[in-house]
Amino acid sequence: MLRRGVPASTNPGAATSLETPRLLLRRWRDDDLDGFAAITAQPEVMRFIHDGRTLDRAATAERLAAYERHWDERGFGLYAAEVKETGELAGFTGLAVPAFLPEIMPAVEIGWRLGRAYWGQGLATEAARAVVAHARASPGLRRLVSIHVAGNEASARVMVKLGMALERETVQPDTGRPVRVYAMNL
């Protein structure tokens, strides 16, 4: 079960896969690297992520390894989002500990990232709603945050559609970029 605050490593319990009408949310596989590297190479996708730079294949592989480590250590994490009809990797959604913003810790963040071809179809909201519903069913988790770089209006809109409210405007220490923190009680 997920516990309040930062769940401990001895705290497994999140479902390792979830289904929505159009998506299968699942843990990452080695053969996701090609698809995810194609997504993290798109400048418009990465514009509001961290320092805004695209990732090469090696850096993308490191990210995927870190996502899986998060699953192993925390018992929850970011799901690969696979389009059920085609089997293609659309991107990700899921939960992560936002250690990059120490001032809001402890916290659990819901996040999303889709390849450009998958924007504008309601997929991020559909996937995130399944993650929120699952988080609600986890007795220990009472609150979710979500963080976007100022100007990322599509992401802000997903937060609002999920029922989150703006809680704080601040600056991300490692990039110096202004960010907005949304939150919701479960």
Ligand X SMILES: CC(C)(COP(=O)(O)OP(=O)(O)OC[C@H]1O[C@@H](n2cnc3c(N)ncnc32)[C@H](O)[C@@H]1OP(=O)(O)O)[C@@H](O)C(=O)NCCC(=O)NCCS
The residues of the shown chain that bind ligand X, judged by CB under 6 A, are 45, 48-49, 91, 112-114, 119-125, 148, 152-155, 157-158
CA dist., res. 141 & res. 14, Å (int): 11
Alpha carbon distances (Å) from 46 to 49, 60, 116, 143: 5, 12, 10, 27
- Quote the least distance from Cβ 146 to ligand X, whole Å: 7
Which 8-state DSSP code applies to residue 163? T
- Quote the least distance from Cβ 148 to ligand X, whole Å: 4
Alpha carbon distances (Å) from 19 to 49, 133, 137: 26, 11, 15
Which CB, 120 or 140, lies closer to ligand X?
Answer: 120
- Quote the least distance from Cβ 4 to ligand X, whole Å: 23
> For the chain, what's the residue count?
186
Which CB, 3 or 118, lies closer to ligand X?
Answer: 118
Amino acid symbol at 95: L
- Quote the least distance from Cβ 106 to ligand X, whole Å: 20
CA dist., res. 40 & res. 89, Å (int): 12
- Quote the least distance from Cβ 157 to ligand X, whole Å: 3
CA dist., res. 142 & res. 6, Å (int): 11
Which CB, 12 or 46, lies closer to ligand X?
Answer: 46
- Find out whether 111 and 78 touch, Cβ atoms under 8 Å: yes
Which CB, 72 or 153, lies closer to ligand X?
Answer: 153
Which CB, 3 or 113, lies closer to ligand X?
Answer: 113
The SS3 assignment for 47 reads coil
